[in-house]
Amino acid sequence: MRWSNKRSVIGDLEGCDVVRVLVGEEQREFTLHRKLLCDSCPFFKTNLEAIPSPTTPGDEEEEEEDSVLWLPNEAPDSFDLFVLWLYQRKKFHTFMDDVIRTISPDECRAVRTNLVRLHLFAAVIDLPALQDLAMDALQDMYLRFDWDMSPRFLAFIYGDCDADHSVRLRKWGIAMLAWTLHGADKAHLLEKQIDRLFTKFPQLKADYNLHLEKMAQSRADVRLKNPQLRLPVNKLRNGERFFGFRQCTFHSHRATVGEGACPHTISLALSPMFPQYSLATWKPNEKEEVESDNFEDADIISPVGDLNEISYLDLS
């Protein structure tokens, strides 16, 4: 899948104040509107303030190496998804829904890695809304293909990722692990691998035990409560909470929302695509719910890439 016309998404760059961003060790180049980047988060605003804007035609040709922003530790194809979000925020979830619905499981494994890296990048630059969109897409993907939580995925988020940046991924991964070990047909095949992971990553074992304790306190059965299933609201009827997780359970704002509406729906309130949402529906609740908040480098998929040329870090 590719964007049919990249310029139609990014717009005409001529005459606009733009900046070059180099991504990854290979320094793949992106030319983006400076204002959009600066307005997206303080990270870009701070880092782009030191990059001069060209004042006359032809200045770009004399541009020095320090006039671009280089993100050496990010994956270029994951950054493609960031660019899609930057220019098409209201349609980002629709694009991801279409990808998840239409491509094969093998291709979706590539998308999964890209989404994980997008989530982590959003955590690094402090973009909670993008973190949460990536998390939603991951849950939807696991639900569609009914994937279990793999030891390799857990080893990645506990061994290779910063704890602060991966906190939501860890919470969801732990919930998925409990679901996998207590309900999957092949759970017995994973026990030895998981025991080795518990030995290697004591925090993983501690988080897992804490999750089981909190599930027991809320009288939830981990064999039934499916972390793949993101229910569309946070205020659940008694029966619903035994089978799925609240809409914001693994969102960055979980502790402040309570049973109120997801704040991301507020940003969509004026969109004709989501007439059911309104500003009046969001009532933040400071009370934290016990039941649900306990807890290689890749060329993956790009909105401007070709699915036939995918390679990826397999987290299955």
The 10s digit of each residue's pLDDT in 227-276 is: 998 888 888 777 777 888 888 889 998 878 888 888 876 554 433 333 33
The 10s digit of each residue's pLDDT in 154-174 is: 999 999 999 999 999 999 999
Contact 245, 222 (CB under 8 A): no
Computed from CA positions of residues 306, 309, 312, 316, in that sequence, does the dihedral angle turn out positive or negative? positive
Whether 149 shows a pLDDT value over 70: the answer reads yes
Spatial separation of the C-alpha atoms in residues 168 and 188, rounded to whole Å: 26
User: Which residues, 6 or more positions from 291, have their beta carbon under 8 angstroms from its beta carbon?
Assistant: 214, 215, 217, 218, 220, 241
Residue bearing the bigger pLDDT, 316 or 114: 114
Spatial separation of the C-alpha atoms in residues 304 and 296, rounded to whole Å: 21
Question: What is the reported pTM?
Answer: 0.78
Alpha helices (runs of H) in 201-308, residue ranges in sequence order: 202-217, 254-257, 263-267
Computed from CA positions of residues 262, 268, 273, 275, in that sequence, does the dihedral angle turn out positive or negative? positive
Q: Please tell me the least confidently modeled range out of 54-58, 203-207, 262-266, 291-295.
A: 291-295
User: Which residues, 6 or more positions from 230, have their beta carbon under 8 angstroms from its beta carbon?
Assistant: 136, 139, 140, 143, 244, 245, 246, 247, 249
The 10s digit of each residue's pLDDT in 272-310 is: 333 333 323 333 333 333 232 322 333 323 333 333 333
